[in-house]
Amino acid sequence: MMTTRIVGTGAYVPEQIATNDDLARIVETNDEWIRSRTGIGERRIATTETNSYMAAQAAKQALDQAGIAPEDVDLILLATSSPDYCFPNGACEIQEQIGAVNAAGYDISAACTGFVFALNTAHAFIQAGIYRTALVIGSDVLSKLLDWTDRGTCVLFGDGAGAVVVQAADRGVIGVKMHSDGTKGGVLTCGARTNGNFLLGKKPELGYMTMDGQEVFKFAVKKVPEIIKELLEENRTSLEEIRYFVLHQANYRIIESVAKRLKADISKFPANMEHYGNTSGGSIPLLLDEMNRKGMLAPGDKIVLSGFGAGLTWGATLVEW
């Protein structure tokens, strides 16, 4: 049966590095606290780079690696919650920047789960025979949504993008799984511009990120193992068959806890948040590209991708490389 194969990966992070010590100069925090509670040592912060610029760089790399021309892309899905514009959507900006003239494109909003939801959506189009080649990109500039006086959030996030090219093939995605729980939406939010129309007689206000860290932590360590187990059971695959669990890079303690709950060896959980922090939609493809370029992935390897975040949303994809 026709499925969806990842045939190229790419990534881009901004030039500017902000270390934990740099943040200790703007809020009451320190390197020891951030490292021990999160595993984060530094992050990239966009200065000149826009969301679509980062996304387009990652996309170009992925296309280059796959040896696919931009004109051959049918669909561009951008997972983001920090686009450059309300409209046009980021996918259209990327289309213009890379010359993917034949592609339809739109954005998917599911915060840190966005990349997995976008990949699963591309898979649905490919499996239905509607499209053959798609670019799936996760790109976020959360630095512009952060309250830089709130130490509970501003130390956790970084900017970055990752991309994959997927194509119809006889092996690749084995199974997909997605969940949402809007009743818990309040634990991780970023308001959009508020209504300031003439009838209200006030100016619109900007939204900033708010988070109940412990609630998000509890949600992640409960729901991620659960969804991975569901995904594997539905696809009659054992935990032992999985070469790597490529999880959203929010906090190393979340990853350790998921590994423990799954009774899976921690060496199967690659991590790079030490250098990038939580890049939201960018985190999974950024890590996947790093693994791919290091030669960690061999044909036939089975991997699980899993994202979790605001919504609340969580999702997972079982892939044969």
Tell me how far apart the alpha carbons of residues 97 and 9 are, in angstroms, rounded to a whole number. 18
Our finding on whether 217 is near ligand UT7 (CB under 6 A) is: yes
According to CB under 6 A, which one of 17, 213, 268, 301 is a site residue for ligand UT7? 213
Two structure tokens written together for 60: 């170009």
Tell me how far apart the alpha carbons of residues 245 and 306 are, in angstroms, rounded to a whole number. 8
Our finding on whether 112 is near ligand UT7 (CB under 6 A) is: yes
Tell me how far apart the alpha carbons of residues 41 and 301 are, in angstroms, rounded to a whole number. 30
Catalytic residue among 92, 248, 251, 292: 248
235 assigned to active site: no
Our finding on whether 29 is near ligand UT7 (CB under 6 A) is: yes
Stretch that binds ligand UT7, among 32-40, 75-83, 163-171, 193-201 (CB under 6 A): 32-40
Least Cβ distance, residue 232 to ligand UT7 (angstroms): 23
Tell me how far apart the alpha carbons of residues 118 and 284 are, in angstroms, rounded to a whole number. 12
Tell me how far apart the alpha carbons of residues 137 and 131 are, in angstroms, rounded to a whole number. 16
Kindly tell me which of 200 and 266 has the beta carbon lying closer to ligand UT7.
Answer: 266
Least Cβ distance, residue 23 to ligand UT7 (angstroms): 8
- The answer to whether the beta carbons of residues 122 and 114 sit under 8 Å apart is no
Our finding on whether 251 is near ligand UT7 (CB under 6 A) is: yes
Two structure tokens written together for 303: 């991997």
Our finding on whether 224 is near ligand UT7 (CB under 6 A) is: no
> How do 42-44 and 17-19 pair as beta strands?
antiparallel
Stretch that binds ligand UT7, among 136-144, 147-155, 167-175, 255-263 (CB under 6 A): 147-155
* CB neighbour list of residue 294: distance below 8 Å, 6 or more residues apart: none
3-state class of 119 per DSSP? helix
Kindly tell me which of 103 and 155 has the beta carbon lying closer to ligand UT7.
Answer: 155
190 assigned to active site: no
φ, ψ of residue 246 to 5 degrees: the values are: -100, 95
278 assigned to active site: yes
- The catalytic site residues sit at 112, 248, 278
Q: Which residues are near ligand UT7 by CB under 6 A?
A: 29, 33-34, 37-38, 112, 151-152, 155, 211, 213-214, 216-217, 250-251, 278, 309
